[in-house]
């Protein structure tokens, strides 16, 4: 069984206020439902399957558990959620009917029943079902937009538009409600009114910054509507504005091509079911960007129940499957995307990468070569095929593929930076630095502030004792651009380590571990830095921690050697840069990896002692959770308290984004 920290469904249950009994318990592999002879056994088997992202198995076991206790609402809730999340929507409806009056779960049960009513065009019933007794801001927005679509389905367009315009809520409501008001007017045939509302969305680029995918969907819908009416020039102008906001969007490129060729263009939304599906897709996309993945899969499956051939829903669901390391499910979803969709080629390319994840490298290579033959100027195909070769460490073949890609580029554009970056990596791995460095420089010429390139080139120089000041400046710039990227922060700390600046290395590596606490390599690096800084007891703790994370064999061998022998004495230049008298480690029975530079325990306030009146804080561009804790609370190590107070981050400091609102401990603590 794959080691998973927690089942996604358990996270949904926690966020929804549902009852989750106990913790995941390992069961014997291959256990058949018929052999389970108790309610507790069936329930625990379901939970194990859920933790392992085996939703079909969880469904089987939950059904078995219900056979022992048919009226158990907790199990009914879990079963209903699992069925919806697995795309078995119709099977979930009987359980949704039983649970529609249970306040704690009605946000899911009544939503399912309302969707079924909309599919049947029973719009009055859907409006009744969308009246929730308990609702969050998110629930209210979904229910309100779908209610408006149901009104429009009954021919009450003016009432629907007025209803959404009067909806009260947080500032972020505005983009979603305005966009759907434009869609409703458009579907009703009131093009003049629709155009006015669409334009107000386009003019509000600030709201688009918080939910860029929804803003771009609005631009796509507006351009498609104009083109559908024969207003080619206006449609292309809308696409020009969208390109200024974010260039390279596949669906917009395909739409522009159709418009320029005077081909028929279909409207993005044509029915209340389409519109109701659209709001679910919009919010799923926004949640996936902001750390709400437990809901993403559910909302996308709700959207598919309304619009089964929705390419954007299928593509995002496949991406969720990839996040959960379920490559086969991702492949199955990519294959469902309709052949005529502009997203089909992107799906086929991702399908090849997932075949490689399943260790089917030969099949992946054959698949991607066929796609490349079909479109030899598609740089995405070169990147995908080169990526597969790199995954099996055939860097020569990867370099050859990237060479062919560069040959096809007549005049490299900004978007081509990744070809040169990946070619640079391939040559660096082949230890052909004279070929690698020019590619990194070309990538930066095309994209000067690309943090991955800055990090890779800067660290390579530091590691080779070349261009030290320039290299370190590059890494610092990469950290400034991606302050919540634990791997880039680790590069900065490791660069300091390689330069013999061990105290600075400790500071940065502690921060890197705070961002990626479950990465064994980062923990190993921090152990090395502690050792060189004279904090040997803490170094041993970190190495033990890295060992327990089951790292790759070469890393494990190095960690075990250091645990038995420590690090060898410094020699030459490194020895000269090291402190003359390393501090003696303070003896502590249980040192922690988050100690401060003096070896003292950080001033962490237990969760139960945090003030009942915490403060609100809005994340600013360039901030990380560590920097917020350091700047606002006076101690970067207190980032853990912020994690405890913000369950939407799901224990990952890297999930914060600019504009996101966080709860902080009361500033006086």
> Which domains are delineated in the chain?
1-99 (1.25.40.10), 174-182+193-268 (no CATH), 359-448 (1.25.40.10), 486-600 (1.25.40.10), 607-664 (3.10.350.10)
Contacting residues for 614 by C-beta, under 8 A, at least 6 apart? 645, 663, 664, 665, 666
Q: Write out the two tokens for 576.
A: 């000269």
- Between CA 93 and CA 368 the distance in angstroms is 40
Question: Which of 498, 490, 496 shows the shortest CA–CA distance to 521?
Answer: 490
pTM of the predicted model over 0.85: no
Whole-number pLDDT of residue 26: 31
**Averaged pLDDT, 102-119:** 95
Q: Is the pLDDT of residue 652 over 80?
A: no
Q: Is the pLDDT of residue 431 over 80?
A: yes
What is the phi/psi pair of residue 664, to 5°?
-110, 155
Whole-number pLDDT of residue 233: 96
Helix axes 395-408, 417-429, angle to 10 degrees: 150
Q: Is the pLDDT of residue 90 over 70?
A: yes
Burial of 15 (0-12, 13-18, 19+ CB in 10 A): middle
- Between CA 629 and CA 605 the distance in angstroms is 13
pLDDT tens per residue across span 211-256: 899 999 999 999 999 999 999 999 999 999 999 888 888 999 999 9
What confidence tier does 389 reach under pLDDT thresholds 50, 70, 90?
very high
Q: Please state which of the ranges 140-149, 311-320, 485-494, 567-576 shows the lowest mean pLDDT.
A: 567-576
What confidence tier does 661 reach under pLDDT thresholds 50, 70, 90?
confident
What confidence tier does 650 reach under pLDDT thresholds 50, 70, 90?
low
Q: Give the position of tokens 């490129």.
A: 253
Whole-number pLDDT of residue 666: 65
Percent over 70 (pLDDT), the chain: 84
Whole-number pLDDT of residue 471: 93
**Averaged pLDDT, 589-609:** 34
CB atoms under 10 Å from CB of 417, counted, come to 20
Whole-number pLDDT of residue 638: 75
Percent over 90 (pLDDT), the chain: 70
Q: Cα–chain-centroid distance for residue 469?
A: 34
What's the Cα-to-Cα distance from 621 to each of 125, 454, 657, 659, rounded to whole Å? Answer: 45, 19, 8, 8
**Averaged pLDDT, 264-269:** 93
What's the Cα-to-Cα distance from 514 to each of 451, 479, 485, 504, rounded to whole Å? Answer: 20, 15, 10, 16
**Averaged pLDDT, 2-20:** 30
**Averaged pLDDT, 55-61:** 93
Q: Is the pLDDT of residue 33 over 90?
A: no
What's the Cα-to-Cα distance from 259 to each of 182, 236, 263, 339, 363, rounded to whole Å? Answer: 21, 8, 6, 20, 37
Whole-number pLDDT of residue 667: 53
Average pLDDT score over the chain: 85
What is the phi/psi pair of residue 662, to 5°?
-115, 155
Percent helix / strand / coil, the chain, rounded to 5: 70, 0, 30
Contacting residues for 666 by C-beta, under 8 A, at least 6 apart? 610, 611, 613, 614, 615
pLDDT tens per residue across span 545-565: 999 998 999 999 999 999 999
Determine contact, residues 75/62, Cβ cutoff 8 Å.
yes
pLDDT tens per residue across span 454-474: 999 999 999 898 998 899 999
Whole-number pLDDT of residue 625: 73
Whole-number pLDDT of residue 622: 57
Q: Cα–chain-centroid distance for residue 462?
A: 31
- Between residues 169 and 209, which one has the greater pLDDT? 169
Burial 496-520 (b: 16+ CB within 10 A, else e): bbbbbbbebbbbbbbbbbbbbbebb
Q: Please state which of the ranges 354-368, 626-640, 654-668 shows the lowest mean pLDDT.
A: 654-668
Whole-number pLDDT of residue 32: 47
What is the phi/psi pair of residue 66, to 5°?
-65, -25
Contacting residues for 360 by C-beta, under 8 A, at least 6 apart? none
What is the phi/psi pair of residue 661, to 5°?
-95, 130
What confidence tier does 206 reach under pLDDT thresholds 50, 70, 90?
confident
Question: Which of 339, 397, 384, 379 shows the shortest CA–CA distance to 357?
Answer: 384
What is the phi/psi pair of residue 617, to 5°?
-145, 135
Determine contact, residues 142/177, Cβ cutoff 8 Å.
no
What confidence tier does 2 reach under pLDDT thresholds 50, 70, 90?
very low
């Amino acid at each position: 069984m794959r080691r998973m920290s927690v089942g996604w469904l358990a996270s949904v249950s926690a966020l929804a206020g549902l009852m989750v009994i106990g913790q995941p318990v390992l069961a014997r592999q291959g256990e058949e439902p018929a052999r389970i002879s108790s309610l507790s056994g069936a329930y625990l088997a379901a939970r194990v399957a859920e933790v392992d992202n085996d939703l079909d198995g969880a469904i089987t076991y939950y059904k078995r558990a219900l056979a022992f206790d048919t009226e158990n609402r907790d199990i009914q809730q879990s079963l209903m959620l699992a069925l919806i999340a697995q795309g078995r929507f119709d099977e979930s409806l009987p359980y949704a009917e039983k649970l529609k009056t249970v306040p704690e779960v009605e946000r899911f049960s009544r939503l399912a029943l309302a969707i079924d009513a909309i599919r049947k065009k029973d719009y009055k019933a859907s409006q009744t079902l969308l009246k929730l007794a308990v609702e969050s801001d998110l629930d209210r927005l979904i229910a309100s937009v779908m209610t408006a679509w149901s009104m429009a389905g009954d021919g009450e367009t003016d009432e629907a538009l007025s209803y959404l315009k009067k909806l009260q809520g947080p500032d972020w409501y505005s983009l979603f409600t305005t966009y759907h008001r434009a869609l409703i007017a458009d579907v009703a045939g009131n093009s003049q009114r629709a155009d006015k509302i669409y334009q107000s969305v386009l003019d509000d680029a600030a709201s688009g910054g918080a939910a860029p995918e929804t803003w771009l969907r609005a631009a796509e819908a507006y351009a498609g509507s104009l083109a559908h009416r024969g207003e080619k020039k206006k449609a292309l102008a809308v696409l020009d504005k969208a390109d200024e906001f974010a260039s390279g969007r596949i669906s917009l490129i395909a739409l522009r091509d159709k418009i320029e060729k005077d081909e028929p263009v279909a409207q993005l939304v044509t029915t209340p079911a389409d519109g109701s599906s659209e709001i679910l897709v919009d919010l799923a996309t926004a949640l996936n960007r902001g750390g709400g993945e437990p809901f993403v899969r559910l909302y996308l499956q709700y959207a598919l129940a309304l619009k089964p051939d929705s390419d954007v829903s299928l593509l995002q669901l496949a991406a969720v499957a990839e996040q959960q390391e379920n490559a086969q499910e991702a492949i199955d979803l990519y294959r469902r995307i309709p052949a005529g969709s502009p997203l089909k080629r992107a799906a086929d390319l991702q399908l090849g990468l997932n075949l490689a994840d399943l260790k089917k490298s030969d099949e992946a290579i054959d698949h991607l070569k066929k796609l490349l033959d079909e479109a030899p100027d598609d740089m995405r195909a070169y990147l995908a095929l080169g990526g597969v070769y790199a995954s099996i460490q055939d860097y020569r073949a990867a370099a050859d593929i990237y060479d062919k890609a560069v040959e096809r580029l007549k005049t490299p554009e900004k978007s081509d930076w990744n070809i040169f970056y990946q070619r640079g990596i391939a040559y660096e791995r082949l230890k052909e630095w004279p070929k690698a460095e020019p590619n990194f420089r070309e990538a930066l010429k095309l994209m000067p502030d690309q943090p991955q390139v800055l990090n890779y080139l800067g660290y390579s120089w530091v590691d080779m004792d070349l261009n030290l000041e320039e290299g370190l400046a590059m890494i610092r710039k990469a950290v400034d651009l991606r302050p919540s990227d634990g791997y880039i922060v680790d590069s900065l700390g490791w660069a300091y380590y390689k330069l013999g600046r061990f105290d600075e290395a400790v500071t940065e590596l502690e921060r890197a571990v705070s961002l990626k606490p479950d990465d064994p390599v980062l923990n190993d690096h921090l152990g090395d830095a502690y050792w060189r800084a004279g904090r040997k007891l803490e170094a041993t703790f970190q190495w033990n921690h890295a060992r327990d994370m089951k790292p790759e064999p070469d890393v494990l061998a190095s960690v075990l050697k250091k645990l038995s022998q420590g690090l060898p004495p410094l020699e030459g230049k490194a020895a000269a840069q090291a402190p003359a008298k390393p501090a003696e480690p303070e003896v502590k029975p249980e040192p922690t990896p988050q100690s401060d530079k003096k070896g003292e325990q950080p001033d962490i306030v237990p969760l139960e002692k945090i003030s009942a009146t915490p403060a609100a804080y809005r994340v600013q561009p360039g901030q990380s959770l560590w920097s917020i804790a350091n700047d606002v609370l006076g101690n970067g190590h207190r980032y853990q308290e912020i994690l405890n107070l913000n369950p939407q981050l799901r224990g990952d400091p890297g999930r914060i984004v600019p504009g996101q609102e966080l709860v902080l401990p009361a500033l006086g603590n």
